[in-house]
């Protein structure tokens, strides 16, 4: 079932056109890997999906409903904020909030959101209990229950990234995006993060993962998009992308250049 | 005069120094905020105006600023504002120097607000863009991001430079001397002039030193309190 559809996303920074008409769709429960050389626009695409950048052109449909249209009226802050909640984003360098414990990092945004509900006053206890229960479950899921009250600065990079994933999940996004989640990590720490992604994929979380981990992409992603200079040069099943008879020469040489 | 009565006489002056110190912080710390926001404004004229203002205030001796604030109403508008306040308080309440002290407080508050604003700006600009974006992606409002995510990190970063300024401030209060406000050094000078006693002038150092010692301990505690996280 189609969850997300992107049509003709274009984005320029000044004179540089970074996205030159990106279109793809994503089914619910699918894991999509986006690969491509540095500077091809992968980060910019994820930022557009998360409304950190506004595309110059294009439309986004979520669940069949138009969520963004560049030619429509400019959305206000509150509207963007609401739309943004449909997505989560895990950054390359984690961006945890250093002054909060792991558990507080998970609960902060959901609690602020709950406080905006009209019936918050009457149901405060219930809301908070629900948020904390969910956060506890998420910490268990990423294997960091023991670090519940630790501060981010005391964690390894891999642990911080797992907290960041749990924090993104605490908002229950429809689609979770990852921007090279392991490239700031020492090699021995990437596995623990990839394992979390693996288990999320097996639970049918809808995910878009920008990654340079080809083995991981081949194994976990059902589909691969190869970006090349702002366009999608390949979009197909990962078996095809990483298989012997990959139809796209540039993709083939790109995968070859990374795996060697 | 006994040692004790000289101590008391100097203490009278130090109370004025402490008053200048406290009011400057009370007004300067919040006043620095709008100045720093203006100096980071996206609106160019506002930003430029703020930067020029800060440049002037930081570029001119504080003593000169005290003179300007004190004398300009009389020179330009032919109205001895602070002199009249002085007289009014002296006649009605028996309070000395009220107008002069107000002039000093205005000069100090503006001057220190400008220094603080630069420290705030440095602190705010040192927070990585990723912190704001992480907040945005999690659905937080700009206000929530500032108050719940950024502010404490900024405070942590500005405590050391603010401590420096605060310690400088207590010593700067001696500048009030230049328009004859009876702060600590002025009191000692009075003893030198009227009683031919020089040693009380050196004795004033003890007051400053003790106070700076207390400040150092308190500010150090604050710094330590914020050392539970690092960013
Ligand atoms: N905010 C920006 N301003 C100007 N240029 C940008 C900005 N963000 C990205 N770019 C440019 O867009 C291009 C694509 O960047 P990016 O999306 O980060 O690529 P990737 O993630 O695939 O490496 C790069 O050439 C980069 O310099
Ligand atoms: Mg990138």
The predicted model scores a pTM of 0.90
- Say how far residue B54 (Cα) sits from the centre of its chain: 14
Residue ranges covered by each domain of chain B: 3-158+172-228
Cα atoms in the Cβ-side hemisphere of radius 13 Å centred on B119: 22
- The pLDDT assigned to B222 comes to 95
Which of A35, A39, A184 best tests ligand 1's pocket when mutated (most atoms within 8 Å of CB)?
Answer: A39
Cβ atoms of A176 and A200 within 8 Å: the answer is yes
pLDDT digits (tens, 9 = 90+) for A67-82: 999 998 888 888 999 9
pLDDT digits (tens, 9 = 90+) for A16-57: 999 999 999 999 999 999 999 999 999 999 999 999 999 999
pLDDT digits (tens, 9 = 90+) for B120-168: 999 999 999 999 999 999 999 999 999 999 999 999 999 999 999 999 9
What's B52's DSSP letter? H
Ligand 1 centre to CA of A248 (Å) is 24
- The pLDDT assigned to B43 comes to 96
User: Can you tell me the distance from the alpha carbon of A102 to that of A109, in angstroms, rounded to the nearest whole number?
Assistant: 13
Cα atoms in the Cβ-side hemisphere of radius 13 Å centred on B2: 3
CB contact under 8 A, B144 and A95: no
Closest to B70 (Cα-Cα) out of B176, B190, B182, B189: B176
DSSP sequence for B200-222: HHHHHHHHHHHHHHHHHHHHHHH
Beta bridge partners of A178: A90, A209
Residue whose pair of structure tokens reads 């503006």 in the numeric block: B110
Instruction: Tell whether the model's pLDDT for residue B209 goes beyond 80.
Output: yes
Cβ atoms of A128 and A103 within 8 Å: the answer is no
Q: At the topology level of CATH, where does B3-158+172-228 sit?
A: MetI-like fold (1.10.3720)
Dihedral over alpha carbons B217, B222, B223, B228 (to 10 degrees): 130
Residue ranges covered by each domain of chain A: 92-172
Question: Ligand 1 atom closest to Cα of A46?
Answer: 17
Q: Quick count: other Cβ atoms within 10 Å of Cβ A46?
A: 23
Instruction: Tell whether the model's pLDDT for residue A260 goes beyond 70.
Output: no
Residue A185 in tokens: 């990590």
CB contact under 8 A, A171 and B156: no
Q: Please tell me the residue having the least CA distance from ligand 1 atom 13.
A: A39
- Say how far residue A105 (Cα) sits from the centre of its chain: 18
- The pLDDT assigned to B23 comes to 97
DSSP sequence for A150-207: --GGGS-HHHHHHHHHHHHHTT--SEEEEESTTTTS-HHHHHHHHHHHHHHHHTT-EE
Smallest CA–CA separation between A150 and chain B, in Å? 10
Average pLDDT over residues A196-207: 96
Cβ atoms of A176 and A207 within 8 Å: the answer is yes
Average pLDDT over residues A125-148: 96
Residue B37 in tokens: 């926001």
Smallest CA–CA separation between A225 and chain B, in Å? 23
DSSP sequence for A220-253: H-SEEEEEETTEEEEEEEHHHHHSTT-S-HHHHH
pLDDT digits (tens, 9 = 90+) for B29-84: 999 999 999 999 999 999 999 999 999 999 999 999 999 999 998 888 888 888 88
Q: What are phi and psi of B58, to 5 degrees?
A: -80, -15
Q: Please tell me the residue having the least CA distance from ligand 1 atom 6.
A: A13
């Amino acid at each position: 079932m189609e969850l997300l559809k992107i049509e003709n996303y274009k984005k320029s920074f000044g004179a540089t056109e970074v996205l030159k008409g990106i279109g793809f769709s994503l089914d619910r429960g699918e894991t999509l890997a986006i690969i491509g050389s540095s500077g091809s626009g992968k980060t910019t695409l994820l930022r557009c999906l998360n409304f950190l950048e506004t595309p110059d052109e294009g439309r986004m449909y979520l669940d069949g409903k138009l969520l963004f249209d560049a030619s429509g009226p400019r959305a206000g802050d509150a509207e963007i904020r609401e739309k943004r909640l449909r997505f989560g984003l895990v950054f390359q360098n984690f961006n945890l909030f250093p002054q909060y414990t792991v558990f507080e990092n998970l609960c902060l945004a959901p609690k602020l959101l709950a406080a905006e509900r009209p019936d918050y006053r009457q149901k405060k206890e219930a809301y908070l209990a629900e948020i904390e229960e969910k956060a506890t479950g998420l910490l268990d899921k990423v294997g960091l229950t023991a670090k519940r009250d630790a501060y981010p600065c005391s964690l390894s990079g891999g642990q911080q990234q797992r907290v960041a994933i749990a924090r993104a999940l605490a908002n229950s996004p429809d689609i979770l995006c990852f921007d090279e989640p392991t490239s700031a990590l020492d090699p021995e720490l990437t596995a623990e993060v990839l394992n979390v992604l693996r288990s999320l994929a097996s639970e049918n979380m809808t995910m878009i993962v920008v990654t340079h981990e080809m083995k991981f992409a081949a194994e976990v992603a059902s589909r691969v998009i190869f970006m090349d200079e702002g366009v999608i040069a390949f979009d197909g099943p990962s078996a095809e992308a990483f298989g012997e008879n990959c139809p796209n020469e540039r993709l083939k040489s790109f995968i070859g250049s990374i795996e060697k | 005069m006994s040692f004790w009565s000289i101590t008391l006489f100097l203490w009278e002056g130090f109370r004025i120094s402490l008053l200048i110190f406290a009011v400057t912080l009370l007004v300067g710390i919040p006043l620095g905020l709008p100045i720093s926001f203006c100096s980071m404004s996206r609106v160019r004229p506002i930003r430029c105006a703020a930067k020029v203002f800060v440049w002037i205030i930081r570029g001119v001796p504080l003593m000169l600023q005290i003179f300007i604030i004190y004398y300009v109403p009389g020179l330009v508008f032919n109205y001895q504002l602070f002199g009249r306040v002085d007289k009014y308080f002296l006649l009605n309440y028996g309070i000395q120097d009220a107008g002069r002290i107000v002039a000093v407080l205005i000069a100090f508050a503006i001057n220190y607000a400008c220094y603080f604003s630069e420290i705030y700006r440095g602190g705010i600009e040192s927070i990585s863009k990723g912190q704001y974006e992480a907040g945005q992606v999690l659905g937080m409002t700009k206000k929530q991001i500032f108050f719940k995510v950024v502010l404490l990190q900024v405070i942590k970063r500005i405590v050391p430079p603010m401590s420096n300024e605060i310690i400088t401030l207590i010593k700067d209060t001696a500048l009030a001397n230049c328009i004859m406000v009876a702060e600590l050094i002025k009191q000692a000078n009075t003893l030198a002039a009227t009683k031919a006693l020089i040693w009380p002038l050196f004795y004033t150092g003890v007051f400053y030193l003790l106070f700076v010692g207390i400040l150092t301990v308190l500010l150090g505690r604050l710094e330590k309190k914020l050392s539970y996280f690092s960013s």
